[in-house]
Amino acid sequence: MKNLILILILFAIFIFSSCQKNDLNYVGKITEQDFSKCVCCGGFLLKIDNNQYNIFEQNLPSNNLDLKNAKLPMKVSLNFTIPTSGCENFIEVQKIRKR
């Protein structure tokens, strides 16, 4: 009986520890690389709702996204802020994960 209880407790711990908390508030799609040559261009184009933003791969938080070799478009979940100065179309990504 003690073994059964122990197995049930370990199973419950395993199930609850493998649940992933959804802490990302936005869903977007990285559509393509932006090869434009202007002050507020470059990086990759990211569409969130009906808005299009630019992101630089090197400015992303450490993750496993290899955008230069990725098959685009790529759906992602992310958290971001819009900087108060500089180019309005570039966003600061705090967290990002492929969907």
Residue 29 in any domain: the answer is yes
DSSP 92: E
pLDDT at position 17: 55
Cα 76 to Cα 3, 29, 36, 61, 69: the distances in Å are 43, 6, 23, 14, 16
**Predicted local confidence at residue 21, as pLDDT:** 55
Q: Is residue 80 part of a domain?
A: yes
Overall domain count for the chain: 1
Q: Note whether residue 6 is domain-resident.
A: no
Rg value, the chain, Cα: 19
Is 4 contained in some domain? no
Any idea which residue has 């992310």 for tokens?
78
pLDDT of the residue at 88: 82
| Inside any domain, residue 52 | yes
Residue 62 lies in a domain: yes
**CA 79 from chain center: how many Å?**
7
- Asked if residue 46 belongs to a domain, the reply is yes
Q: Residue 41's domain spans which residues?
A: 23-98
pLDDT for residue 16: 57
Residues in the chain with pLDDT < 70? 6, 8, 10-22
